């Protein structure tokens, strides 16, 4: 793989996901990759292709969210000359381009219901029909799809076709977010830092100062590995003295005393923002209704621990760190309140 397409990490959750991708790669079946932004869904798709029997054939990528709804079907299935305004010549769709290879559909959840219906037929029968054509074309395509949405819930709500979800979920690989990949943040930071230092022509790699390394460990990384790479590369290129460990890191590049203030909108917009602020404000506790202090405190503690466990995907060491507890203290709280995953 190329330099930008390497898997870096040592946590069990991450290695399990990579191993599942390796095992699924030789199977000519659809795979659904689920994960937050920046977790490496594209890398998993590439691994599935490179380790399959189709590795010499095309790997075609389509970002379903990057195109307007009116063009998605034409991009997927192609069109004949004159099929619609602007179709001055016939054009292959992504399915035909990926024939005998792999088609990676990123942001699958953004497909319209009409496109989902036609995609279902292509997956089920191996046939695609160009827009404006009267006869279908047979294709041999292995589909890998990715999303950061809860597709089973959307299927229950009727906004995503349940039958299409069934066809695409032969294997489902869910990538762990960086915040639960224990031990991977310093490994990744060191890798990205060394790479950036080499690009800048540094003679040595000084590493990070302890307080910088701790800040990166404590950050929740909503943008995951992609965000970490930007933070590390920015810190390295801004550091002028490579004889000393990097002592400054900017986690939020938009944080500035001179950043623009929000533009005031209409009165309705003001009312809406005020409503959002009111909803975001936590409700005041109803102290006058408390008749059992111990039970009320226990219930509050249970709610906090349960919320923190859910937010950290039941990674108990990460949850303990987030709550300022030791691992044993958290285990005691879980047992005390009878919490189960």
Question: What is the token pair recorded at 203?
Answer: 């003679």
In this prediction, residue 293 carries a pLDDT of: 83
User: What band does 2 get if pLDDT is binned at 50, 70 and 90?
Assistant: very low
What domains can you pick out in the chain, each with its CATH number? 3-176 (3.40.50.300), 180-238 (1.10.8.60), 267-337 (1.10.10)
Place of tokens 């060394």: 194
In this prediction, residue 230 carries a pLDDT of: 97
Mean per-residue pLDDT over the chain, rounded: 86
Which of 75-79, 124-128, 255-259, 336-340 is most confident? 124-128
Distance CA 166, CA 84 (A): 32
Q: Where are the alpha helices (DSSP H) in the chain?
A: 12-24, 41-50, 69-77, 94-97, 113-125, 151-157, 162-168, 184-200, 210-218, 224-238, 267-280, 293-311, 316-323, 327-337
pLDDT digits (tens, 9 = 90+) for 84-134: 777 778 888 899 999 999 999 999 999 989 889 889 988 988 988 888 888
Question: What is the token pair recorded at 95?
Answer: 């399915």
Of the candidates 124, 58, 125, the one whose C-alpha atom is nearest the C-alpha of residue 93 is: 58
């Amino acid at each position: 793989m190329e330099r930008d397409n390497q898997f870096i990490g040592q946590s069990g959750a991450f290695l399990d996901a990579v191993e599942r991708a390796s095992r699924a790669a030789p199977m000519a079946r659809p795979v659904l990759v689920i994960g937050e932004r920046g977790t490496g869904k594209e890398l998993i798709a590439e691994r599935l292709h490179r380790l399959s029997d189709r590795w010499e054939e095309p790997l075609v990528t389509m970002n379903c969210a990057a195109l307007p709804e009116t063009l998605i079907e034409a991009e997927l299935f192609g069109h004949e000359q004159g099929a619609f305004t602007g179709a001055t010549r016939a054009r292959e769709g992504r399915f035909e381009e990926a024939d005998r290879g792999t088609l990676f559909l990123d942001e699958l959840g953004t497909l319209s219901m009409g496109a989902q219906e036609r995609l279902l037929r292509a997956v089920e029968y191996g046939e695609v029909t160009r827009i404006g054509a009267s006869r279908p074309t047979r294709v041999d395509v292995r589909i890998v799809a990715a999303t950061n949405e809860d597709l089973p819930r959307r299927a229950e709500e009727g906004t995503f076709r349940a039958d299409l979800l069934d066809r695409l979920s032969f294997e489902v690989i869910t990538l762990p977010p960086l915040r639960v990949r224990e031990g991977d943040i310093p490994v990744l930071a060191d890798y990205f830092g060394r790479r950036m230092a080499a690009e800048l022509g540094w003679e040595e790699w000084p590493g990070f100062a302890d307080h910088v390394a701790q800040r990166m460990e404590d950050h929740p990384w909503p943008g995951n590995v992609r965000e970490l790479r930007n933070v590390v590369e920015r810190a390295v290129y801004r550091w002028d003295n490579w004889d000393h460990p990097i002592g400054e890191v900017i986690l939020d590049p938009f944080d500035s005393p001179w950043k623009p203030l929000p533009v005031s909108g209409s009165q309705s917009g003001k009312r809406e923002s005020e409503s959002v602020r009111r909803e975001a404000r936590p409700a005041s506790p109803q102290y006058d209704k408390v008749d059992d202090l111990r039970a009320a405190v226990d219930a509050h503690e249970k709610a906090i621990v349960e919320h923190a466990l859910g937010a950290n995907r039941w990674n108990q060491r990460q949850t303990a760190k987030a709550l300022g507890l030791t691992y044993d203290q958290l285990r005691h709280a879980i047992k005390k309140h009878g919490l189960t995953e």
